[in-house]
Amino acid sequence: MAELQKIKEAIMGGKREEVSRLVQAALTAGDSPVEILEGGMIPAMREIGDKFSRNEVYVPQMLIAARAMQAGLALVEPVLAQTGHQPLGKLCIGTVKGDLHDIGKNLVAIMLKGAGYEVVDLGVNCDINKYEEGIKQGANVVVCSALLTTTMPYMKDVVEHFKSKGVKVIIGGAPVTQNYADQIGADGYSEDANGAVKLVDRLLGKTA
């Protein structure tokens, strides 16, 4: 459908107002919100994520595309809720205790939403109790972010707490490595937002 291609291109170009206009027009015309999401919006974020992984675009372009995606999601999500559309899964995400950085965390959250997951964004400076709030809201995966080497050790506390409860924890952030994830027993690690989506797909058995 030509309109879906236009939505995809507008998201990838970071054209927030155009995304809002195109998505609203599609909804008004009676297009299915699921089709809009799966035919235009998700492919856009998958493609921009793949380009990021190949160093063909960088964080600023990712952020602009993510904001454009968010504009579309703001229109689609309420309609999806009314139709009873079920997300692929539910996760909670937050930057760990002592860390107030949120750009990476926000990107991952938007990419996960764009891939069809429901995301409880817990914000920054999250202690174990805050992550527990996400679990109480129905999340079955905890996503932890850290940008500081001084806050990374708290990830170990989070992993140990939730491991005893059978809840999966995945981690990421600038100083975090696969080696560190293995050391603390995390269920997964990704170095970027696109990889985080693929990791969650694998963990929850959503890969094709």
Q: Provide the pLDDT for residue 1.
A: 60
**187, 203 Cβ separation under 8 angstroms:** yes
Q: Name the residue range of residue 133's domain.
A: 90-203
Domain end: 65, 83, 101, which one? 83
Q: Is residue 208 situated within a structural domain?
A: no
Q: Check whether residue 98 and residue 196 sit in a common domain.
A: yes
Q: Is residue 136 situated within a structural domain?
A: yes
CB atoms within 10 A of CB 165: 9
Residue 142: strand pairing partners: 92, 169
Q: Check whether residue 98 and residue 185 sit in a common domain.
A: yes
Q: How many domains does the chain have?
A: 2
Domain CATH for 127: 3.40.50.280
Q: Check whether residue 68 and residue 140 sit in a common domain.
A: no
Domain CATH for 78: 1.10.1240.10
Question: Which H or E run includes 132?
Answer: helix 128-136
Residue with tokens 């969650």: 200
Question: Which H or E run includes 144?
Answer: strand 141-145
**Weakly modelled stretches of the chain, pLDDT under 50:** none
Q: Check whether residue 132 and residue 161 sit in a common domain.
A: yes
Domain end: 19, 48, 83, which one? 83
Angle at 183 (CA atoms; ends 119, 53), nearest 5 degrees: 50
**173, 122 Cβ separation under 8 angstroms:** no
Domain end: 49, 67, 83, which one? 83
Reported as a single tens digit per residue, the pLDDT across 137-151 is 999 999 999 999 999
Q: Is residue 150 situated within a structural domain?
A: yes
Reported as a single tens digit per residue, the pLDDT across 46-69 is 898 888 888 898 888 988 998 899
Joined tokens for residue 9: 């291109």
What's the pTM? 0.82
According to DSSP H, which parts of 39-58 are helical?
A: 42-53
Q: Is residue 39 situated within a structural domain?
A: yes
**11, 45 Cβ separation under 8 angstroms:** yes
